[in-house]
Amino acid sequence: MMTATTFCALPNRGVLKLTGPDARDFLQGIISNDIDHLAADAALYAALLTPQGKFLFDFFLVETSDGLLLDGERDRLAELEKRLKFYKLRADVTITDRSEEFSVYALFGDQAATIACLTDKPAAAMSDETGVRYVDPRLSAMGVRLILRHDELAKLQGKCPELPQLAPADAGVKAYEAWRIGNGIADGSHDIAVEKYFLLEANFDALSGVDFKKGCYVGQELVSRMKHRNAVRKRIVPVCTEAGLLPAPQTAITTREGREAGTLLSQAGNRGLAYLRLEMLGEPLCAGDKALVVDIPAWLRPFIADDNAGQSK
């Protein structure tokens, strides 16, 4: 069944700009992904970690003719900027908040990439005078993200005549949240507990957010150790209930016998995300008075299979 394409603003996202001859080398030494994968036609998804390998920030990076744009959580953007400048040292890079110049949008549904004049390959990108548009590097089913100058939306609609009208603010965000959760994708610090969850627990290995072949970066040793020792014991996975709405986020998830299994995260109606112990995936689970069904998406199954294989050795 075809899904109608929706175009909406993401007001919870902000934009940093990085310029200077050392910008790429600077990022290469601190982020989880390989900056060499970033190009004018290829976006990048990555994270910044604590030295102990715990999650701090996730973000998207795109290349423009005059620098790099970073799409991150708006209410944590100042904190991210401060952390990046802490690592800057003598690198010749300038980091500025450009959220007053750019807005972030999402275009999602079956025809999103085609409407945006892109291939449906994850990370496929294109920039012009209006800004940048790119297929979500994590999962092509998530559609297209756009970083546009505030006054260039009309011009983009001229370039992409099939672009839907911008959805009303609240309805658009609600629709995007349902789409995100339906695809099993975590939303930054709203789902990935800062300084608590490990990168692979948040599925960065399955979502092209970490490169295991690049050189050192902050937290790299722990991430590599977890990968090569099959030491992932928990993951963020989609869940649903067949009876009404899910309980509130942070509700404890248990087995029928009352053993701790995990925690509910984001939700939309009867679907949500949960931080679960992998050893509990085959057991009947509940949150409050709701029975839960774990619904592992195809993109995540091979990684959970590898986790379980490693734990059974």
Q: What's the pTM value of the predicted model, to 2 decimals?
A: 0.95
**What distance in Å separates the CA atoms of residue 58 and residue 251, rounded to the nearest whole number?**
24
Strand segments, DSSP code E, in the chain are: 6-9, 13-19, 44-49, 55-64, 67-73, 94-97, 102-108, 125-128, 131-135, 144-149, 234-240, 252-255, 260-268, 271-277, 285-287, 290-294
Q: What's the token pair of residue 24? A: 């790429």
Helix-, strand-, coil-residue percentages of the chain, each rounded to 5: 25, 35, 40
Q: What's the token pair of residue 32? A: 């989880």
Q: What are the φ/ψ torsions at residue 160 (nearest 5 degrees)?
A: -125, 80
Which pLDDT does position 307 carry in this prediction?
83
Q: Domains of the chain, with CATH numbers?
A: 6-182 (3.30.1360.120), 230-313 (2.40.30.110)
Q: Are 274 and 253 in contact (CB under 8 A)?
A: yes
DSSP secondary structure string for all residues of 254-284: EETT--EEEEEEEEETTEEEEEEEGGGTTS-
Within 160-270, residue ranges assigned H as helices are 169-182, 188-191, 220-228
Rg (CA), the chain: 20
**What distance in Å separates the CA atoms of residue 84 and residue 121, rounded to the nearest whole number?**
30
Which pLDDT does position 102 carry in this prediction?
95
Strand duo 234-240 + 144-149: pairing: unpaired
Which pLDDT does position 244 carry in this prediction?
85
Q: What's the token pair of residue 255? A: 């087995």
**What distance in Å separates the CA atoms of residue 35 and residue 38, rounded to the nearest whole number?**
5
Give pLDDT tens digits for 29-58. 999 999 999 999 999 999 999 999 999 999
Burial class (CB in 10 A: 0-12, 13-18, 19+), 26: buried
User: How many C-beta atoms surround the C-beta of residue 275 within 10 A?
Assistant: 23
Q: Low-confidence residues of the chain, pLDDT below 50?
A: none
Strand order in the sheet with 6-9: 6-9, 102-108, 144-149, 131-135, 125-128
Which pLDDT does position 311 carry in this prediction?
63
Q: Are 32 and 17 in contact (CB under 8 A)?
A: no
Name which of 229, 33, 226, 45 is nearest 138 in CA terms: 45
Name which of 210, 190, 172 is nearest 46 in CA terms: 210
Name residues whose C-beta falls within 8 Å of residue 256's C-beta, 6 or more positions apart in sequence. Answer: 283, 284, 285, 286
